[in-house]
């Protein structure tokens, strides 16, 4: 299952062929995103699902460090900090201890793909997705559509939207489920504290 999720995601972000990377807008967006080595933002995630009659909403803070991973810190409706680093996921408890979480490959794959993409590396994403770029470098939208039928049967599209920074991610599933993530107060992260460094395995 995890593998399926993983490839859905990978597919999700991966493969639209290098030719697409030639698009000037895509290139300039990636170049701009790659300038920020570490970014902090507040997020709000809203999720709709056919099984739910009201959307789910959560909020918190995100720390994104290029080449290392991200800390996804939910503050409401509950407190939880997840460290998504490369192929690994871990839960950071209230005392700052790191507990590896098994079997979260799907989520970590998304974070990996985002990390790669925001670092200007589109290869993974382009293997699995067709990318349409629209807008201007100051206000852009990238839409990733699965190239492969087996993935497309489950995943509709992933849309990234932003300016100098990533402003939002929208993931649309074929069963009608939608996940919308909006970022606010995005800024360069500045120095990391000891816990953040340890959780992300950065120097």
Partner 1 sequence: MTSQALKLRAGLFAVATVLVAALGAWLLFGRGALPIQTDLLALLPATEQNPLAEAAVERLAHANGDRMVLLVENADDARAKDAARALGKALAAQPVFDTVTAELPPFDLAQMVAPYLAHRDWLLADADRAALAQPGYDPAQALAQRLNEPFLTGVGVPLADDPFGWLQRWLAQQPWSRSPLLPEDDLLVAHQGDVTCVLVTATLKGSSYDDAVQRHALAALHTAELQIEHDYPGTKLLRTGAVFYAAAARAGAERDVHMVGWISSLGIALLLLAVFRSPGPLLQAFLSTAVGVVAATTVSLLVFGQIHLLTLVFGAALLGEAVDYSIQYLSARANAGAQWQAGRGLRQVRPALLLALATSLLGYTLLGLVPFPALRQMAVFAISGMSAACLSVFWLLPALLQRPAKPMTGALVRGARALQHALARPAHGWRGALLAATLLLVALPGWMQLRHDDDVHQLIAQPAGLLAQETQIRAITGLGNGSQFYLVQGHDAEQTLQREEALEARLQALVDDGKLEGWLGLAGMLPSQQRQARDHALLARLFDDPAHLRRTLADAGFRAAAIDAWLAAWPGTPLQLDEWLKAPLSTPFRQLWMGCHAQGCASLVLPQDDADDALLAHAAAGLPGVQLVDKPASVSALFGRYRGYASVWLLAAMLLIVPVFGWRYGWRRAPRVLAPPALGIALTLAALGYLGQPLTLFHWMALMLVLGVGANYAVFLHEGEPHAVDRPGAMYASVLLSALTALLSFGLLSLSSLPALRGFGLTLLLGIAFTALLVPASRAGSVAPCVRRQHSSGTA
Residues engaged in binding partner 1 (CB under 8 A) = 1-11, 14-15, 17, 45, 47, 49-58, 72, 74, 77-78, 80, 82, 84, 100-107, 110-111, 123-124, 127-128, 147-148, 150, 153-154, 169, 171, 173, 175, 177, 179, 181
Nearer of residues 54 and 191 to partner 1, judged by Cβ: 54
Pairwise CA distance, residues 130 & 170, whole Å: 16
Cβ 111 to partner 1, closest distance in Å? 8
**DSSP type of residue 15:** -
Q: Which two tokens stand for residue 158?
A: 């992933």
Pairwise CA distance, residues 45 & 24, whole Å: 30
Cβ 138 to partner 1, closest distance in Å? 26
Nearer of residues 29 and 110 to partner 1, judged by Cβ: 110
Contact 118, 166 (CB under 8 A): yes
Cβ 53 to partner 1, closest distance in Å? 5
Residue 95 CA, chain-centre distance (Å), reads 26
Place of tokens 């000037």: 24
Cβ 145 to partner 1, closest distance in Å? 15
Pairwise CA distance, residues 42 & 61, whole Å: 4
Q: Which two tokens stand for residue 32?
A: 């701009």
The residues, ordered by sequence, that sit 6+ positions from 57 with a Cβ below 8 Å of its Cβ are 44, 45, 46, 47, 77
Cβ 193 to partner 1, closest distance in Å? 21
Nearer of residues 5 and 41 to partner 1, judged by Cβ: 5
Cβ 7 to partner 1, closest distance in Å? 4
Pairwise CA distance, residues 199 & 90, whole Å: 8
Nearer of residues 133 and 158 to partner 1, judged by Cβ: 158
Residue 176 CA, chain-centre distance (Å), reads 20
Nearer of residues 7 and 140 to partner 1, judged by Cβ: 7
Nearer of residues 31 and 52 to partner 1, judged by Cβ: 52
């Amino acid at each position: 299952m995890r593998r399926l999720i993983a490839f859905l995601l990978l597919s999700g972000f991966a493969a639209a062929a290098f030719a697409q990377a030639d698009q000037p807008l895509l290139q300039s967006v990636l170049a701009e995103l790659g300038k920020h080595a570490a970014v902090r933002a507040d997020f709000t995630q809203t999720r709709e699902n056919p099984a739910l009659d009201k959307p789910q909403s959560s909020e918190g803070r995100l720390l994104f460090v290029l080449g290392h991973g991200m800390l996804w810190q939910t503050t409401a409706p509950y407190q939880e900090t997840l460290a998504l680093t490369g192929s690994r996921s871990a839960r950071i408890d209230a005392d700052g201890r790191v507990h590896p979480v098994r079997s979260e490959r799907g989520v970590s794959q998304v974070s990996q793909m985002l990390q790669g993409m925001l670092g200007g590396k589109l290869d993974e994403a382009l293997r699995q997705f067709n990318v349409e770029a629209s807008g201007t470098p100051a206000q852009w939208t990238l839409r990733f559509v699965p190239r492969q039928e087996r993935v497309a049967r489950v995943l509709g599209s992933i849309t990234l939207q932003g300016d100098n920074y990533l402003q939002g991610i929208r993931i649309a599933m074929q069963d009608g489920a939608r996940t919308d993530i909006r970022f606010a107060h995005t800024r360069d992260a500045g120095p990391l504290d000891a816990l953040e460094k340890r959780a992300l395995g950065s120097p």
